[in-house]
Amino acid sequence: MPIAFIEQSLQPCNTLGLPARAQVAVLDDEAAVPDLCREQGGSVFILGGGSNVLMCAQPRHRVLRVALRGIRLMRDTADHWIIEAAAGESWHGFVTHCLDQGWPGLENLALIPGTVGAAPVQNIGAYGLELDQRLHSVVAWDLQAGCERTLLPSDCGFAYRDSVFKRDGAGRWLIVRVRFALPKAWVPRLDYPDLRAHPALQGVAPTPRQVYDAVCDIRRRKLPDPAVLGNAGSFFKNPVVDAARADALKRCFADLRVYPQADGRVKLAAGWLIEQAGWKGRRLGPVGMHERQALVLVNHGGAQAADVRALAQAVRQAVRERFGVDLEQEPVVLD
């Protein structure tokens, strides 16, 4: 059965809550993918939970909403659980399910909005853990070549908030299943200062559930719930600069937040830069930068894509003028 595209509103399908109308189809059966390749060959925009996307009002792309479901224990090896989840599963639901089944290892990534299939696209990361550290493989259709492939982590070109799935453009890869390798020798990952300092984790050898609860608690306190206040999480990436540049900035701004990287470069906290540039909690029209986390752009109601672009440009310019640092937008654009 060929997949049918029907014009509809995408406003409920993007967590920023922007109005958009497009030709939309829902994929709930992998068997429909070969037909889709023949008919659409790489021209569709793949949409998961819409939590990392900036939608234009009338996108020229057709949109495929991925609603594939299923989670299973694929293999139980001596030292790992290999779990496979379909791309349309809710990410947080999947993390919670794994914990309930006694397969810990993803708890630092709890409460991230979006779907399992979107997780490898931007290599989601939070509280000291990035997805690539727990990934076994990704089963994806190359929509241009018309064939299914299994990509190992080394094939995925993972970097900070980046992967081949993102670099190759939104129409090339259709991720259908993602497999995770969760080590049976569980060790809590408490490197991230906010997590290490959490009151519930003091003086105890924490269980996976306690780490999960602490991560959820930190996120709920800091980050706006998209169901209440439209947002797409961090709107910019944390910029990475060379060490000489970071040293020069540190001499001028003693409080600058710096995170040295393995390659010798230095990551800066974009939220801090934006706050110092005067944009924390500040609005421009119906949008603004969040009052508790300046890196999160929020829709106070009635915003259009143009409002978001205007604010993003104003924030970028303010940070460039004060620090000479360019901010790169994190969400992908559906145009």
Residue 239 binds ligand EPU (CB under 6 A): no
Quick one: which segment of 23-31, 200-208, 290-298, 299-307 binds ligand EPU (CB under 6 A)?
290-298
CB nearer to ligand EPU: pick between 22 and 129: 129
Q: Least separation, in Å, of the C-beta of 108 and ligand EPU?
A: 8
Residue nearest to ligand EPU (CB): 233
Contact 39, 324 (CB under 8 A): no
Residue 244: Cβ-neighbour burial (10 angstroms; 0-12, 13-18, 19+)? exposed
- Closest by CA to 42, choosing from 14, 69, 67, 64, is 64
* Pairwise CA distance, residues 320 & 69, whole Å: 44
Q: Which of 107, 134, 234, 316 is catalytic?
A: 234
Out of 153, 208, 226, 271, name the contact with ligand EPU by CB under 6 A: 271
294, 318, 332, 334: which one binds ligand EPU (CB under 6 A): 294
Our answer to whether residue 39 is catalytic in this structure is no
Classified as helix, coil or strand, 101 is helix
- Our CB check for ligand EPU shows the closer of 14 and 293 to be 293
Distance CA 246, CA 263 (A): 14
Q: Give the N- to C-terminal CA distance of the chain in Å, as an integer.
A: 28
295 binds ligand EPU (CB under 6 A): yes
Which positions from 115 to 134 touch ligand EPU by CB under 6 A, shown as an x/- string?
A: -----------xx-------
Q: Which residues contact 100 (CB under 8 A, 6 or more apart)?
A: none
Asked whether position 195 contacts ligand EPU by CB under 6 A, the answer is: no
Q: Could you confirm whether 161 is annotated as catalytic?
A: yes
9 in active site: no
Among 189, 237, 309, 320, binds ligand EPU (CB under 6 A): 237
Site string for ligand EPU, 74-113 (x = CB under 6 A): ----------------------------------------
- Give residue 65's identity as a one-letter amino acid code: R
Which is nearest to 222 in space by CA: 267, 262, 176, 271?
271
Residue 79 or 255: the one with the smaller Cβ distance to ligand EPU is 255
In this structure, the number of other CB atoms found within 10 A of the CB of residue 212 comes to 22
Shortest separation between residue 290's beta carbon and ligand EPU, angstroms: 8
Which candidate, 188, 195, 184, 252, places its Cα nearest to that of 219? Answer: 195
Stretch (H or E) spanning 264: none
Cα 322 to its chain centre, rounded Å, is: 28
Instruction: Give the residue numbers marked as catalytic.
Output: 161, 234, 330
Contact residues for ligand EPU, defined by CB under 6 A? 126-127, 192, 194, 223, 233-234, 237-238, 257, 269, 271-272, 275, 280, 293-295, 330
